[in-house]
Structure 1
Amino acid sequence: MMFLCNSTLGEVVWTQVKFKMNAYLGTLVSLIVVQILGLMLSINGTSSMSTNFNNTDFQFVWITADTVIIFVSIWALFLGNVITTKGYRNTNFSFVTNGISNNLSNIIVLIIMSVFAGITTFLSHYILRIVVPFFNDVGYVRSGSIIDDPLSSITSMGLMVSLILMISAGGYLWGTLVYIHRAYMFLLIVLIIALPATKTGQMILRFIFADNMSLFVLNVKFVCLAIIFFVLAMLCSNRLEVRR
């Protein structure tokens, strides 16, 4: 007796998401490693200023999590790219799947990991606040807290998530194009280098990063760019249905 079981697109995607989250667990470990490395490099501060008042020397040190953000951004680009490599693509043939379900599951995985990376990267600032006194001769540490301005903190956290998602989406598009043909790698590198060097490229970068009335607007721009990158990657990957 034979039975025919028809799975819906949602069920197939969800099955792939669970499998890929387990398969890509090592990338979360690498995220923690790069965050710890960024924290270690940030302990001594990014800038300082000294002054004297009533024969008492004061030294002010500004400590930010910018190094952590840079490292995590590189990690996000690597994450989006590595999912498109041949080894990871071949794991899809363990499932009854197609290009749409494969792309949707990849996008959901990138969203989940970007949310985790964004939240932990945002909280790394508060970890620095706790760790710095143990490694430096610091008498007083002052920084804003989530309680002081919860709305601004939530917006900043969302901005961090959307930034990492946009970068990972760009890496996903890059990896898809390179998988189609190696020549795209060099074309994309030239494009990235030429973008800030041309007037049109500078206008685009200024529109995205500079011309913003609020963090919310910048957040929306990052999310829109991530959607554009994902859609382009899905359109380009339509020709990758056959295993090669």
Structure 2
Amino acid sequence: MMSFATPKLIDIVKKQFLFKWKGYRTFFTNLVILQAIAIIFSLGGIGSSSHGREGVNVSESIYSADFVLAFTMLWAFIVAILLTSKAYREADFVFITNRFTAQLANVAFLFTISVIGAITAILSRNLLWMITYFSSDNITFVKEAALHPSEYVMGGIATILYVFLFSAVGYLLGSIVQMNKMFAFILPVVFIALLILFGMQEQYLLLWLHEFYYQEDSFIWWFVKTGFTATAFFIASFYLLNRQEVSK
């Protein structure tokens, strides 16, 4: 008997999301490997100082999960690019679906792995401290910077959004490359040319991006800027991929 029930949008997206969650577990294996490598790079600390008096020498080292976060953002960036590839896009059609629901599921998946990646990156700081403490032959004191609970919450949200923003950038670049494979060679050249151009004008593009997204004093305004940028990138990606499907 033929069913005339129309699948709901949320149900289709949910099924596709669960399919990706179960089928793309190798992504998380890669995350663990990258974060482990980043922790090894971080064991030397990001800064140190020493001073002594009356035969007592004291050395201080600053440890941070910045390397782990950088590797996590790179991981999210690569995963997003892979999701736009033909092989991954064709895998979506094992379900009754269309390009819009498939991309919504991709965004949901990318946001979920951004949350997981951000949380593990934050927790890696404690692991880094433990490794440093137990591997040191000298007396070691571990002191964390005093922060208000709200600062921890905002820091966690910021970390998640940074990872998600990088996934949005990767998704957009992947969408552009899918339109024409030549863009895989053109885009790096354009990026380098922009760096040179801005450098000649004594305006450094990377420095401007750092100040615009990282040194914003207002958390709310930073949240709006970052969220808007990620949303704009995904909307542009939707348009490009939908256009590609229609033109086939």
* 1:77 equivalent in structure 2: 77
Q: 1:209 aligns to what?
A: 213
* Counterpart in the other structure of 1:229: 233
| TM-score where L is the length of structure 1 | 0.90
Moved more, 220-229 or 111-120: 220-229
Task: Indicate whether 1:218 and 2:217 are aligned.
Answer: no
1:86: how far off? 1.6
Question: 1:27, 1:79 within 8 Å by CA — same for their partners in 2?
Answer: yes
**AA aligned opposite 2:141:** Y
Q: Which residue of 1 aligns with 2:174?
A: 175
**Unpaired stretches in structure 2, ≥5 consecutive residues:** none
| Pairing of 1:76-225 with structure 2 (within 5 A) | 76-137=76-137, 138-144=139-145, 148-197=147-196, 198=198, 199=201, 202=205, 205=209, 208-209=212-213, 212-225=216-229
Percent identity among equivalent residues?
A: 27
Contact persistence 1:82–1:88 (CA under 8 A): yes
Paired residues of 1:77 and 1:170 also in contact (CA < 8 A): yes
**Distance (whole Å) between structure 2 residues aligned to residue 194 and residue 69 of structure 1:** 27
- The separation in 2 between residues aligned to 1:221 and 1:119, in whole angstroms, is 22
Structure 1 stretches of 5 or more lacking a match?
none
> Are the equivalent residues in 1 in contact too, given 2:69–2:118 (CA < 8 A)?
no
- Equivalent residue, structure 1, for 2:65: 65
CA contact (8 A) 1:173 1:232 kept: yes
Q: Distance in 1 between matches of 2:2 and 2:214?
A: 62
Offset of residue 239 of structure 1 = 2.1
Q: Distance in 2 between matches of 1:98 and 1:59?
A: 60
**Shift, 1:24, TM fit:** 1.3
Q: More deviation in 233-242 or 27-36? A: 233-242
Give the TM-score taking structure 2 as reference length. Answer: 0.89
**1:43–1:135 Cα contact (<8 Å) kept:** no
Return 211-220 or 49-58, whichever deviates more: 211-220
Structure 2 partner of 1:13: 13
For the residues of structure 2 that align with 1:182 and 1:153, how far apart are their CA atoms? 42
Measured in 2, the distance between the counterparts of 1:140 and 1:122 equals 20
1:101-160 per-position Cα deviation (integer Å, ceiling 9, x unaligned): 011010000011101111111221122222211222352111136xx5210011111111
